[in-house]
A and B are shown apart, each in its own frame.
Chain A
Amino acid sequence: AQKVTQAQTEISVVEKEDVTLDCVYETRDTTYYLFWYKQPPSGELVFLIRRNSFDEQNEISGRYSWNFQKSTSSFNFTITASQVVDSAVYFCALSHNINAGNMLTFGGGTRLMVKP
């Protein structure tokens, strides 16, 4: 069975601090994809990144970076020098394929509050 755990339900930081959001997953699939989404107060989920299970290279995009470690089944997300606009709920997700429909299993989300 697929499972995604985001143990941190809420994190509060002061602007310019670095913050890491944890994501641990369970799957029996040998090939899978991992995702991070951002949900700002407006509600729409915004896609941030997709990672292939065969590619463990860390990725950096501006202030965002992702650390994928297959050995520990983790896909953590770090925001460097956080800003108030980073305040949102962040979801980690894991893919699997059922009857030609590519499904995502979402974690419970981590609410990040960045205070000025």
Chain B
Amino acid sequence: SQTIHQWPATLVQPVGSPLSLECTVEGTSNPNLYWYRQAAGRGLQLLFYSVGIGQISSEVPQNLSASRPQDRQFILSSKKLLLSDSGFYLCAWSEGASGGRGTQYFGPGTRLLVL
């Protein structure tokens, strides 16, 4: 069966510090991968998605970036965090090349607090 991992689970960082969040998927090959952010009490905002290694699409211009160095690894980064980057970050995967029917499965999330 497939599993998705995220770490760290929680993170407290000062403004201006760098960020690296990691997401890995097990039990599948060539998945589509996604990063979402959820501000407190708000809905889900898609940040990035990837359909393959090295292929990253950005949905929202900001100071965050994403990379996919391996097939089942997705990394969210920032060089300098802003207060507004605080939130709950969720990684998700879906079966690749499945058109619009692909169910997305979510990881446990990372709670980021920028002070």
Interface residues of A (CB under 8 A from B): 29, 31-33, 35, 37, 42-47, 50, 52, 91, 95-97, 99-104, 106-109
Q: Within the complex, which residue of B42, B43, B46, B109 is in contact with A103, where a contact is CB–CB below 8 Å?
A: B46
Interface size on B, residues (CB 8 A): 28
Q: Do residues A91 and B43 form an inter-chain contact, with CB atoms below 8 A?
A: yes
Closest to A109 in B: B43
What CA separation (Å) do A10 and B96 show in the bound complex? 35
**What residues of B have a CB within 8 angstroms of the CB of A108 in the complex?**
42-43
CA distance A65 to B51 in the complex (A): 33
Query: How many A-B residue pairs lie within 8 Å, measured between CB atoms?
Result: 70
Q: How far is the CA of A109 from the CA of B46 in the complex (A)?
A: 15
Interface pair A31/B100, CB less than 8 Å apart: yes
Given A91-B44, A99-B57, A101-B49, A45:B100 Cβ within 8 A: no
Judge whether B104 is part of the interface by a CB distance below 8 angstroms: yes
Question: Is A100 a contact of B51 with CB atoms below 8 Å?
Answer: yes
Binding site for A on B (CB under 8 A): 32, 42-44, 46, 49-51, 57, 88, 90, 92, 94, 96-109, 111
A92 to B109, CA, bound (A): 19
Residue in B closest to A46 when the chains form the complex, CB atoms: B106
24 A-B residue pairs with Cβ-Cβ distance under 8 Å, sorted by A, are: A29-B100, A37-B106, A42-B108, A44-B107, A45-B90, A45-B106, A46-B106, A47-B103, A91-B44, A95-B100, A95-B102, A97-B100, A99-B57, A100-B97, A101-B49, A101-B50, A102-B32, A102-B94, A102-B100, A106-B43, A106-B44, A107-B43, A108-B43, A109-B43
